[in-house]
Amino acid sequence: MSFYQNVNEIIFFVFVFLVLFGGIMAVRSRILMHAVLGLAVSLLGVAGLYFHLGSPFLALMQILIYVGAVCIMIVFGIMVGYTPSEVREQGIGVANPFLALTAGVAVFITLLIAISRTVWTPAAAVQGDFSLAYLGETLMYRYCLAFELISVVLLTAIVGAIILARGGRDEEHF
Amino acid sequence: MMESLMPELIRMVVAAVLVVAFVFLNAMIMGYLERKLSAHIQRRPGLMEVGPHGILQLLIDGLKLIGKQLVIPEKSDHFLFRLAPVLSFAPVVLPFIVIPFSRKLVIRDLDVGLIFILAISSLNVLTILVAGWSSNNKYSLFGAVRSVAQNISYEIPMLLSLLAVVLMTGTFSLQGIVAAQGKIWFFLIQPIAFITYIIAGVAETNRAPFDLPEAESELTAGYHTEYSGMGFSLFMLAEYANMFIVCSIATTLFLGGWRGIPLPFGDYSGIIWFFLKVYGLMVFLVWIRWTYPRTRFDQLMNFCWKYLIPFALVNVLVTAVLVKVL
């Protein structure tokens, strides 16, 4: 194995480590801010994997949308969450371990089935045009319906947020 | 294999050293300009003590900041508190990779250059939030939350104004966009996009009249209230570097980049024109900062959502239709 391939493998495993480490940090942390930062590390690792697979556009979109926007949105949860000192005093226990375990195992098995049934093509063997223009065209023609459905999901989220916020602030607590 | 990698490695190291050195130099130049210009706008001489017209003052300030003690508040989140200033440095150094300084001088001309800058800059907000939250200080947290609200709001008109230019050129490569401005600079064709971008850029860099995150009369110093010594200076360096990046995007997309009347310096005239334009814009931002009073927070948000975004959207629509028709 040549020097270049070695470096290539090391970079791949660094990104995999980032994804796993960030994921564990996101799940294990009691403090919301640490959990969000763990998620950010994990998502950056995923962006790195996209980059490693030769799709810089996807990697940058991953950073722009997930790290730059979604993580920030989650952080706004801090304003309704517990402060670090409160967590230390009370300690937040697991509400229902059995339900959590069942949900986790169910998702894991579903993913396992999906992964084992897919026929994987090695990245080097994938042929075709992956330019920005091609991506844009496929999104607007071939996958137009899926693309529009995503915007419907976003619209639902916005409408939901407005309904939740419609009551406005309490006059007394303003 | 080793031999073929060497030139690329040397290139990377040289680029990294040059960029970091430039970030420090830029902060010194801008620190001096800002203090001197603000002084003259307020009819006082400003820096006068160290060197002629105080020109060495920033050097002394730098030494002082390096020598200062780093105070870490006892009840803060120590690890994140130390990490935040370092993190704030990454998103302002990386965009230098794709900025075209002249026809030949660009570290890497990615075909997704503009998206690269925007994606990396979006990390900036996260570092501000980490800094504000980990300080465990109400002023810091308020500053950080305000900064986040302001930055994610003003990112929308910023993206929309840049999108209008991308629609016209059909490329995200910054060199490609400069090449498309051979006949006419885009601020003449896209005045609304240019003005929107400058306003959003002032808000993105948290500068007056949109400096609510660090409003000193109410929040002491915003998210970096608790930082001293090098922690504080890293934030300052990042802020000025961020200003440079915002101005260089404006120069590249709207003011013709390194293009200009040929100067008698051969290939170097492109670099000279680029820096003239960028520093011209930065002096303009300093001028705005010391001329206008701070806005109120509701005015700031209303201005973005009720005026800037609709105007930018209409501008994108009109541009799209005209590009298709013409």
Whether residue B95 is predicted with pLDDT greater than 50 in this model: the reply is yes
Report the chain B residue with the minimal C-alpha distance to residue A56: B112
Contacts of B210 (CB under 8 A, 6+ apart): B150, B154, B202, B203, B294, B295, B300
Q: Quick one: pLDDT band at residue A106, thresholds 50, 70, 90?
A: very high
CA distance B16 to B201: 25
Q: Quick one: pLDDT band at residue A173, thresholds 50, 70, 90?
A: very low
**Any domain includes B53:** no
Least confident of A89-103, B91-105, B241-255: A89-103
Least confident of A41-50, A89-98, B186-195, B287-296: A89-98
Predicted pLDDT at B139: 84
**Any domain includes B170:** yes
User: Residue B50: what are its φ and ψ, rounded to 5°?
Assistant: -90, 110
User: Taking the CA atoms of chain A, what radius of gyration do you get in angstroms?
Assistant: 21
CB contact under 8 A, B119 and A61: yes
Q: Quick one: pLDDT band at residue B170, thresholds 50, 70, 90?
A: confident
- Report the sign of the C-alpha dihedral through residues B15, B20, B21, B27, in that order: positive
Predicted pLDDT at A174: 43
Report the chain B residue with the minimal C-alpha distance to residue A62: B119
- Count structural domains, chain B: 1
Q: Contact, B261 vs B181, CB < 8 A? A: no
Contacts of B238 (CB under 8 A, 6+ apart): B88, B89, B91, B92, B124
State the average pLDDT over residues A61-75: 82
Residue closest to B244 by CA, chosen among B40, B106, B122, B93: B93
Q: How many CB atoms lie within 10 A of CB A52?
A: 16
CB contact under 8 A, A132 and B116: no
State chain B's mean pLDDT as an integer: 83
Whether residue A107 is predicted with pLDDT greater than 90 in this model: the reply is yes
CA distances from B195 to A13, A145, B246 (A): 45, 36, 13
Interface of A with B in 81-140 (CB under 8 A): 84-85, 131-132
Predicted pLDDT at B3: 57
Q: Contact, B230 vs B70, CB < 8 A? A: yes
User: Residue A149 corresponds to which tokens in the numbers above?
Assistant: 């459905």
3-state class (DSSP) for residue B278: helix
Query: Alpha helices of chain B — where are they, by DSSP H?
Result: 2-41, 57-67, 78-87, 90-93, 113-121, 123-134, 138-169, 174-179, 186-189, 191-204, 216-219, 229-254, 268-289, 297-302, 309-325
Look-up of token digits 């001293």: B228
Whether residue A38 is predicted with pLDDT greater than 50 in this model: the reply is yes
Q: pTM to 2 decimals?
A: 0.83
More confident residue, B60 or B105: B60
Tell me which chain B residues have a C-beta less than 8 angstroms from the C-beta of A72: 125-126, 129, 148, 152
State chain A's mean pLDDT as an integer: 79
Whether residue B119 is predicted with pLDDT greater than 70 in this model: the reply is yes
CB contact under 8 A, B125 and A79: no
CA distance B283 to A16: 45
Whether residue B194 is predicted with pLDDT greater than 50 in this model: the reply is yes
Q: Quick one: pLDDT band at residue A109, thresholds 50, 70, 90?
A: very high
Q: Quick one: pLDDT band at residue A112, thresholds 50, 70, 90?
A: very high
Encode pLDDT of B265-276 as tens digits: 777 788 888 888
Q: Which of B1, B123, B125 has the CB atom closest to A3's CB atom? A: B1
Highest mean pLDDT among A86-90, B72-76, B163-167, B229-233: B163-167
Percent of chain B with pLDDT strictly greater than 90: 3
State the average pLDDT over residues A37-50: 89
Q: Which domain holds residue B264?
A: 76-325
The packing angle between helices B78-87 and B229-254, to 10°, is 30
More confident residue, B36 or B72: B36
**Any domain includes B88:** yes
State the average pLDDT over residues B170-181: 83
What length is written for chain A?
174
User: Taking the CA atoms of chain B, what radius of gyration do you get in angstroms?
Assistant: 20
User: Residue A133: what are its φ and ψ, rounded to 5°?
Assistant: -60, -40
Amino acid at B31: G
State the average pLDDT over residues A29-49: 85
Q: Quick one: pLDDT band at residue A119, thresholds 50, 70, 90?
A: confident
Contacts of B123 (CB under 8 A, 6+ apart): A63, A67, A68, B90, B91
